[in-house]
Amino acid sequence: MPGAGSSAAETALRLALRALSGFALGLVLWRAATPAYDRVLAGFAEPVIRLFERPPATRLYAEGSRVVVDRADFPSSSDRPALPVDDLTFDVILLLTLAATTRGLFRDRAVKGLALSCGILFALHVAALVLAVESFYATQLGAWSTATYGALARNVWATASHFWRLAGCFAAPFVLWWALIRPAGSDAPARGAAPKGSRLRRKKA
């Protein structure tokens, strides 16, 4: 039927435009907020890392799109390594792209789902930065790494960090959207759809 085909095309076009709008908004917010966001991440990740240190030695601070790793036991003349952080946090763009495709996104439940998803994603970003620092300690500092981390610990930290970068940062937005945002917005009626009650009454008539 021509009408059905036209309606499906319009629906697909609206979906694509919403996804494009969400992507553009996410990209702009991510690029603009990255310097401040990285400082916040470093502030939260540092005490987590120091919990596992005896004595606590790690200091983290943001510099551009990287987080600089400093330690109290680093020689004063040595360079301070800097880890890239933008590849740990860009998945917020994917989350906002998916959220924008959700019908009824601005309903109360969907907004709460989006806020909760962003909060969980922030916690995952803190964890990802902790993994990145620990993986660097375990594998990139030569004899110190070997003396401080056992073979199992080195493999665990490195594998966990690589898993986030290669798979976790893509999977997390999909899981959050599917579990927390999509169901909350799915109750919204489609544009032009008649309420269920009116359809029933029309059939009876």
Q: Is 12 contained in some domain? A: no
Smallest Cα–Cα separation from 174: which of 106, 104, 98, 71?
A: 98
Cα 21 to Cα 29: distance, rounded to the nearest angstrom: 12
Q: What residue type is 80 in one-letter code?
A: R
Look-up: residue for tokens 């969400």? Answer: 22
Q: Is 156 contained in some domain? A: yes
What pLDDT was estimated at residue 2? 54
Q: Is 7 contained in some domain? A: no
Range of the domain at 130: 20-188
How many structural domains does the chain have?
1
Smallest Cα–Cα separation from 87: which of 137, 131, 21?
A: 131
What pLDDT was estimated at residue 3? 55
- Mean local confidence (pLDDT), 21-45: 96
- Beta bridge partners of residue 63, listed in sequence order: 66
Q: Is 94 contained in some domain? A: yes
Q: Is 15 contained in some domain? A: no
pLDDT tens-digit map of 48-57 = 999 989 899 9
8 Å CB contact between 110 and 98 = no
Cα 145 to Cα 18: distance, rounded to the nearest angstrom: 48
Q: What residue type is 61 in one-letter code?
A: Y
What pLDDT was estimated at residue 118? 97
Q: Is 162 contained in some domain? A: yes
Q: Is 133 contained in some domain? A: yes
What pLDDT was estimated at residue 190? 52
Looking from the CA of 182 toward its CB, the CA atoms found within 13 Å total 11
pLDDT tens-digit map of 79-100 = 899 999 998 999 999 999 999 9
Q: Residue 203: pLDDT above 90?
A: no
Please count the other Cβ atoms lying within 10 Å of the Cβ belonging to residue 60. Answer: 23
What pLDDT was estimated at residue 95? 97
Q: What is the pTM of this model?
A: 0.85
Q: Is 2 contained in some domain? A: no
Beta strands in 72-109 (DSSP E): 82-84
Please count the other Cβ atoms lying within 10 Å of the Cβ belonging to residue 109. Answer: 16
Q: What angle do CA 199, 184, 92 make, to 5 degrees?
A: 140
